[in-house]
Amino acid sequence: MSTNVFKLVDGETIELTEEENNQRIADSEATQAEYEAGAWLRNRQEAYGGWTDQLDEMFHDFDAWKARIQAVKDANPKPE
């Protein structure tokens, strides 16, 4: 049964066997699931910003910084 998925090995294009393709799909799905499971954390880290910027925020208005961080947490809840 043709998989119509290929690999490049030392310059030669070779079609994956059904077993290889099934493994590829399983690996890909597992990786994607793990990636998506970590979305909440990546989104939080990106929204928090760098440490130096946050320290500056705290220095100027600690409560405002705390409220912003809480809003980021609320918008990106940790999965149960």
Partner 1 sequence: MANRFPLIVDSSGTAAIKELASGDNLDLTGNGIVGAGTVALTNLTVGGAQGSDGQVLTSTGSGIAWEDASGGGGGGAWNVISSQTVSSSVAYVTFTGLTGYANYKIVWNAVHHATHPYDSWFQPSTDGGSNWYAASHWKTHTTQADTTSTALSVSANIRANYGSSAQGQAEIYGNTHQYNTDQTHSGQLELFSFNGSNYTHYIAEDVHEVFSTRMAFGKTRGALLSNTAFNAIRFGAGANFTGGTFTLYGLSTS
Contacting residues toward partner 1, per CB under 8 A: 5-11, 13, 16, 24, 27-28, 30-32, 34-35, 42, 45-46, 49-53
Q: In 3-state terms, what secondary structure has residue 9?
A: strand
Closer residue to partner 1 in complex, CB, 1/8: 8
CA torsion angle 16 21 25 31 (round to 10) = -60
Closer residue to partner 1 in complex, CB, 49/72: 49
Residue 64 token pair: 């405002």
Q: In 3-state terms, what secondary structure has residue 17?
A: coil
Closer residue to partner 1 in complex, CB, 9/79: 9
